[in-house]
Structure 1
């Protein structure tokens, strides 16, 4: 009879011992570990900072939070000729939007002719350097174009421009 109960008793004792060891050796939560390492006051300060960071992150993605930027679409598309061997090889059509501080909508529309001019110059330069040949939509091909467009917009409108977004881009070979 005891021979039959011995495996069950060992199973219960082993399980209880494993649970007890797990509880005893469980690592402390990060908040408590930081409080112990830096003193209780520093730990509380870091916890408050984490909560503030979390609130800011939630505010970024919260549709009811006040937006800090606005997106302004440039009215018409840009058509860029791609010339190879002194002949028109293709046309690239690009639609752009600006990420700006809130309240710059009127300023962007007032400067739109100048913006279109500098954007076209950047796009023509990109085309002349071969930026629209081959796999032109790869990120390593578009990143320099985005940077150049952003810098051109910032020269015209100042620091209120955060980014230039390439909303649509297509190439039609002739």
Structure 2
């Protein structure tokens, strides 16, 4: 009888731990909402995206414009005091309707703020290894959006990374 009880207890502990870990690693509710309605009217997606920031009012996709930054951003990745790679990125700024002109007016300040964020990201190792992982890209997008909102004082709803390329430099 004792030979059966110990393996049974260990089995129950293992199953309980696995279920607990599975529940902790499931997708966040906002990701599920976006997955449920990827091509819908945009209201559910916008509402889900704005849940994180309680100060931002939900805006439908119909009430937004996009201002593409004129030039690409080039960010060096430095390792051992040498440039090991170059990151080339293209960005677009999502704004409320009518805000596109303000983005182009403040583009030099926005570019400066974005470059500072990208340099900081590169110096923290954000462009090393699997630099396009979803968590890594989310951190970069949030930092870019924060910098844009500090520069434009609230007219920007999102910053979109349109292109990103890493070119390793051979010595």
Whether TM-score is above 0.5 comes out as: yes
Q: Which runs of 4+ in 1 moved over 6 A?
A: none
User: 1:120 Cα deviation (Å)?
Assistant: 0.2
Task: Name the counterpart of 2:150.
Answer: 155
User: 1:82 Cα deviation (Å)?
Assistant: 0.3
CA distance in 1 between counterparts of 2:69 and 2:94 reads 11
CA distance in 1 between counterparts of 2:149 and 2:162 reads 19
Relative to the length of structure 1, the TM-score reads 0.63
Higher helix share: 1
CA distance in 2 between counterparts of 1:68 and 1:158 reads 18
Pairing partner for 1:110 from 105, 111, 118:
105
Secondary structure of the residue aligned to 1:116 is helix
Is residue 94 of structure 1 aligned with residue 86 of structure 2? no
Task: Name the counterpart of 2:134.
Answer: 139
Q: Kindly tell me: are residues 146 and 58 of structure 1, through their superposed partners in 2, closer, same or farther at Cα, counting changes over 3 Å?
A: closer
What is the aligned length?
115
Q: Give unmatched runs, 5+ long, in structure 1.
A: 1-56
User: 1:140 Cα deviation (Å)?
Assistant: 0.9
Relative to the length of structure 2, the TM-score reads 0.64
Task: Name the counterpart of 1:68.
Answer: 63
Secondary structure of the residue aligned to 2:77 is strand
Secondary structure of the residue aligned to 1:67 is helix
Task: Name the counterpart of 1:77.
Answer: 72
User: 1:58 Cα deviation (Å)?
Assistant: 3.9
Q: Give unmatched runs, 5+ long, in structure 2.
A: 1-39, 45-59
CA distance in 2 between counterparts of 1:105 and 1:92 reads 26
CA distance in 2 between counterparts of 1:105 and 1:140 reads 29
RMSD over aligned Cα, in angstroms? 1.9
Secondary structure of the residue aligned to 1:133 is coil
**Structure of larger gyration radius:** 1
